[in-house]
Amino acid sequence: MSDIEVKPNVPLYYTVQNYILDLINENKLKEGDLIPTEMELSNMFHISRPTVRQGLNILVSKGYLRRIKGKGTFVTKPKILQENTRFLESYNTEMQKKGLIAKTKVLEISIKICPDYMIDKLGVCEGEKIIKLTRLRYAYGGNSTEDNKPIILTTVYIPYQKFPNLFLYDFEQRSLYEVFEENHISIKKAVREIEAKLSNREISKLLEISEGSPIHFLSSYGYLEDGSVIEYSESIYPGERNKFIVEISR
């Protein structure tokens, strides 16, 4: 590789960082590609290896690079920061705020007799009907066809009596929370619990990850003003594509 001119008044580690980031943004380096070694970058920029490492460490911390011991440093896709542990808003709205394009694929929407294990979760009586809605959620950067893998598999259960007209809506185009609001159903509180698990064969196939991969399992209850449950959901996030933020104030 040829030498790269270092601009004056720019921190050397920042120059290395921007060089690699530009290659990624221009698709000259793609997900899974091996980047130049620290020695190669050191020779290109005529700077020390510790300085090169400082620049690469920043990209590793931001999720653009991943180090594999004995093999090198590879390009990876930054994880999507999920903020539904902080805010009560629709998935589409959250992705829009991040400058991403949201897409949804409905896998199932059906009416079922509430199973025994779900009765207490939804606060319904034995034999009552519920609606089950399972979706795969995607988030596109808008300029790549290589990152179009699901980032969430989510299943929501809703007491049928609370919203019998749910089937009138196309949830590949519409947000559930937006449809709730249109029908004057206002979720006042949500309680969410996150667990770390490993994916099984079925989940791995749907999320396009290896079996046994780390996943975030998030269960959520949505409550109405009167304290009753309007929805209970179970969402699965591939660990390699997502991270969460939890904000605590005092």
In this structure, is residue 144 part of a structural domain? yes
Which pLDDT value is given to residue 72?
86
pLDDT cut 90: percent of the chain above it: 36
- What is the residue-averaged pLDDT of the chain? 83
Structural domain count, the chain: 2
Distance CA 150, CA 171 (A): 16
Q: Is the pLDDT of residue 143 over 70?
A: no
- Give the phi and the psi of residue 24 in degrees, each rounded to 5: -70, -45
Is the domain of 60 the same as that of 87? no
- Give the phi and the psi of residue 247 in degrees, each rounded to 5: -105, 130
The CATH number of the domain where 187 resides is what?
3.40.1410.10
Domain end position, chosen among 51, 75, 99: 75
Q: Is the pLDDT of residue 209 over 60?
A: yes
Is the domain of 45 the same as that of 130? no
pLDDT tens per residue across span 172-181: 998 898 899 9
Is the domain of 197 the same as that of 220? yes
Those residues whose C-beta lies under 8 Å from the C-beta of residue 194, and which sit 6 or more positions away, are: 85, 216, 217, 218, 244
Is the domain of 116 the same as that of 229? yes
In this structure, is residue 217 part of a structural domain? yes
Residue type for position 80: I
> How many Å separate Cα 87 from the centre of its chain?
15
In this structure, is residue 2 part of a structural domain? no
- Nearest of 77, 88, 205, 62 to residue 140 by alpha carbon: 77
Q: Is the pLDDT of residue 59 over 50?
A: yes
Which pLDDT value is given to residue 90?
57
Is the domain of 103 the same as that of 23? no
Is the domain of 204 the same as that of 117? yes
In this structure, is residue 250 part of a structural domain? no
Is the domain of 137 the same as that of 84? yes
pLDDT classification of 8: cutoffs 50, 70, 90? low
Which pLDDT value is given to residue 147?
55
Those residues whose C-beta lies under 8 Å from the C-beta of residue 180, and which sit 6 or more positions away, are: 163, 186, 187, 230
In this structure, is residue 218 part of a structural domain? yes
Burial of 176 (0-12, 13-18, 19+ CB in 10 A): buried
Distance CA 151, CA 105 (A): 12
Is the domain of 21 the same as that of 142? no
Q: Is the pLDDT of residue 139 over 70?
A: yes
Which pLDDT value is given to residue 78?
65
- Listed in order, strand segments (DSSP E) in 114-160 are 129-140, 152-159
Domain end position, chosen among 41, 59, 75: 75
The CATH number of the domain where 32 resides is what?
1.10.10.10
Instruction: State the average pLDDT over residues 75-95.
Output: 59
Signed CA dihedral, 44, 47, 53, 57: sign only: negative
Is the domain of 96 the same as that of 66? no
In this structure, is residue 175 part of a structural domain? yes
In this structure, is residue 208 part of a structural domain? yes
Domain end position, chosen among 28, 47, 75: 75
Is the domain of 104 the same as that of 212? yes
Instruction: State the average pLDDT over residues 177-206.
Output: 91
3-12, 103-112, 146-155: range with highest mean pLDDT: 103-112
In this structure, is residue 7 part of a structural domain? no
pLDDT classification of 87: cutoffs 50, 70, 90? very low
Q: Which domain holds residue 21?
A: 12-75
With 0.85 as the threshold, say if the pTM is over it: no
Instruction: State the average pLDDT over residues 202-231.
Output: 92
Is the domain of 154 the same as that of 224? yes
Which pLDDT value is given to residue 2?
47
Partners of 153 in beta bridges = 136, 236
Is the domain of 131 the same as that of 188? yes
